[in-house]
């Protein structure tokens, strides 16, 4: 039967090659643990610590990208559409695609701001009068624009490196949509949307701190009354404990690797009314969930990667950009062209349109600035000790402080990242306009726009830093207050 067969099929595929970004001044590096342990030093910069490699060093990928070319990024796409009844009123569509992304240059910032191109250090407990007082060798400024082969490297410098085998992120996406037309004006659709993203770039700490207890100890000939403290973080790092002499120039060392994943699944319901009698309407509602282990940031910072460098899945939680529910309703009306002179002049061709937007809150996690685990990795999350994290959900008590607690010394917080839903958001925008013809090819458009028409006070997210006195309170608003603007446009 004609209605039992797909009407349209589409298959496409492409093959892409990733070479990485070419860093013209060579400010990119790799770090090899084998080279560090075997004492292999850079031939490009003779004062660099063992393990660091730069463009031109043996074993460094060719070129100035820090990564090996990836030749086989196959990107297939296929789609099928089926006219179920053969009348064009009921349709089923489905598609699948595999796509890739190209990471921004922001991921090269950490390497470009490290020695010998800059003197990035992470200093704890310093004074502003002389922040380099506790740094052996002191301040190495100024940094030359073109570093010489014997450029100095600071003690316990911060470094960002690239995994030579890193690949571009990719996403597989699929959907199934059922569409139905009702009468001549109405159409409804239901869609299942799914995607799986992997090879997302994340930071892996190669040289994190190690928790050594809270009693006294001696490290590299210095006795500390508290063995795990901020002022001896560099002496407690993995490589410092392994080889204090070889690692004297290595503070935090991060490596970008393609270990991240995200899963998304959603149901989208939509309805649309075509322009009949001057009225149009369109509505969409989506309920979805997204979970992943990597937050895709716009500007990575040092020591801000996975809390467990050897277990990225420990950071798996709700995607911070995800909203569980999203609803949008758009409607419009245009007055007809009246016949009477005065009525026609005053009431014809007015256009009014409105948009109702509503969404559930952002996903939040309660954090602390304390390095309870002693690793030096930022973004610490605490423990949730009660099932219900909320207070009375007022501005002054949205989250309950008693629902959370600091982890024990040396432990990572057990709370799932981004597991608390913040306040929702809704707003109504309205526009009123009229186009008046003055002469042939000359017209005036009058326009009135009102954003947040009802002046709804949308709450911002609560304070999630457990260390501060305003924790759990909402001190900001989301969106904007009511804004009204008038405009006149002359067209000719």
> pLDDT at residue 53 above 80?
yes
Q: Is the pLDDT of residue 9 over 60?
A: no
Q: Tell me how crowded residue 13 is: count the other CB atoms within 10 A of its CB.
A: 11
What confidence tier does 42 reach under pLDDT thresholds 50, 70, 90? Answer: very high
pTM over 0.95: no
Which of 132, 164, 153, 141 has the alpha carbon at shortest distance from 250?
153
3-state DSSP assignment of residue 160? strand
Q: Hey, what are 375's tokens?
A: 């690793």
* pLDDT band, residue 126 (cuts 50/70/90): confident
Please state the domain count of the chain.
1
Question: 355-403 pLDDT, tens per residue?
Answer: 999 999 999 999 999 999 999 999 899 999 999 999 999 999 999 999 9
What average pLDDT does range 182-190 have in this prediction?
A: 94
Per-residue pLDDT at 204 = 95
Backbone angles phi and psi of 439, in degrees to 5: -155, 180
DSSP 8-state secondary structure symbol assigned to residue 341: H
**If pLDDT is split at 50, 70 and 90, which confidence band does 196 have?**
very high
Mean pLDDT of 323-335: 94
CB 454 within 8 A of CB 423: no
Strands 8-18 and 30-31: unpaired
pLDDT of res. 347: 75
Which are the contacts of 255, defined by CB distance < 8 A and separation ≥ 6?
31, 160, 161, 162, 163, 203, 204, 206
Q: Which pLDDT band holds residue 300 (cuts at 50, 70, 90)?
A: confident
Q: Identify the band that residue 492 occupies on the pLDDT scale cut at 50, 70 and 90.
A: confident
Rounded distance, CA 268 to CA 431, Å?
27
102 DSSP 8-state letter: -
Which residues on neighbouring strands pair with residue 394, listed in sequence order? 397
Question: Which of 244, 136, 159, 210 is closest to 376 using CA atoms?
Answer: 210
Residue with tokens 């008590």: 397
Query: Which of 199, 247, 194 has the alpha carbon at shortest distance from 219?
Result: 247
428-455 tens-digit pLDDT: 999 999 888 777 778 888 999 999 999 9
Q: Could you give the 3-state DSSP secondary structure of residue 305?
A: coil
Q: Which of residues 135 and 68 earns the better pLDDT score?
A: 68
Question: Bridge partners of 485?
Answer: 449
Query: How far are the Cα atoms of 135, 308, 486 from residue 405, in angstroms, in the given order?
Result: 35, 20, 52
Domain range enclosing 116? 2-491
Burial class (CB in 10 A: 0-12, 13-18, 19+), 263: middle
**pLDDT at res. 5:** 43
Closest CA to 54 of 97, 6, 115: 115
Q: Tens digit of pLDDT for each residue in 63-104?
A: 899 999 888 888 999 999 999 999 989 999 999 999 998 888
* 178's tokens: 């059922």
What is the rounded distance in angstroms from the CA atom of residue 370 to the CA atom of residue 308? 16
């Amino acid at each position: 039967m004609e209605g039992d067969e797909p009407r349209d099929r589409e298959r496409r595929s492409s093959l892409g090659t990733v070479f990485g970004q070419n860093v013209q001044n060579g400010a990119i590096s790799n770090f090899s643990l084998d080279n560090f342990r075997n004492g292999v030093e850079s031939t490009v910069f003779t004062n660099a610590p063992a393990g660091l490699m730069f463009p031109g060093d043996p074993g460094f990928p060719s070129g100035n990208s820090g990564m090996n070319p990836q030749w086989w990024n196959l990107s297939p796409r296929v789609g099928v559409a089926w006219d179920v009844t053969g009348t064009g009123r009921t349709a089923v569509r489905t598609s699948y695609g595999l796509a890739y992304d190209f990471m921004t240059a922001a991921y090269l910032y950490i390497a470009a701001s490290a020695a010998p191109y800059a003197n990035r250090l992470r200093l704890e407990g310093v004074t502003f009068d002389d922040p380099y007082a506790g740094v052996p060798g002191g301040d190495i400024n100024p940094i030359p624009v073109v570093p010489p082969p014997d450029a100095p490297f600071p003690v316990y410098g911060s470094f960002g490196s690239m995994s030579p085998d890193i690949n571009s992120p990719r996403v597989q996406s699929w959907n199934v949509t059922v569409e139905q037309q009702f009468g001549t004006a109405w159409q409804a659709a239901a869609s299942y949307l799914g995607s799986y993203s992997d090879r997302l770039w994340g930071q892996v700490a190669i040289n994190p701190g190690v928790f050594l207890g809270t009693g006294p100890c001696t490290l590299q000939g210095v006795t500390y009354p508290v063995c795990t403290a901020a002022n001896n973080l560099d002496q407690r790092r993995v490589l410092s404990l392994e080889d204090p002499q070889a690692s004297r120039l290595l503070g935090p060392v991060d490596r970008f690797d393609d270990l991240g994943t995200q899963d998304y699944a959603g149901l989208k319901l939509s309805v649309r009314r075509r322009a009949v009698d001057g009225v149009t309407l369109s509505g969409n509602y989506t309920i979805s969930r997204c979970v992943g282990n990597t937050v895709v940031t716009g500007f990575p910072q040092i020591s801000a990667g996975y809390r467990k460098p050897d277990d990225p899945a420990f950071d798996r939680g709700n995607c911070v950009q995800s909203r569980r529910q999203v609803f949008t309703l758009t409607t419009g009306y245009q007055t007809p062209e009246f016949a009477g002179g005065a009525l026609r002049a005053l009431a014809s061709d007015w256009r009014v349109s409105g948009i109702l937007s509503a969404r559930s809150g952002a996903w939040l996690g309660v954090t602390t600035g304390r390095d309870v685990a002693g690793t030096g990795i930022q973004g610490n999350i605490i423990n949730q000790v009660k099932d219900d994290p909320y207070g009375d959900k007022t501005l002054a008590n949205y989250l309950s402080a008693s629902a959370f607690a600091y982890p024990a010394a040396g432990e990572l917080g057990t709370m799932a990242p981004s597991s608390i839903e913040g306040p929702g958001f809704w707003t109504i925008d309205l526009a009123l306009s009229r186009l008046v013809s003055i002469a042939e090819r000359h017209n005036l458009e009058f326009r009135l726009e009102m954003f947040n028409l009802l002046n709804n006070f949308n709450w911002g997210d609560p304070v999630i830093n457990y260390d501060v006195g305003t924790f759990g309170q909402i001190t900001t608003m989301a969106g904007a207050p009511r804004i009204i603007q008038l405009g006149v446009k002359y067209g000719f």
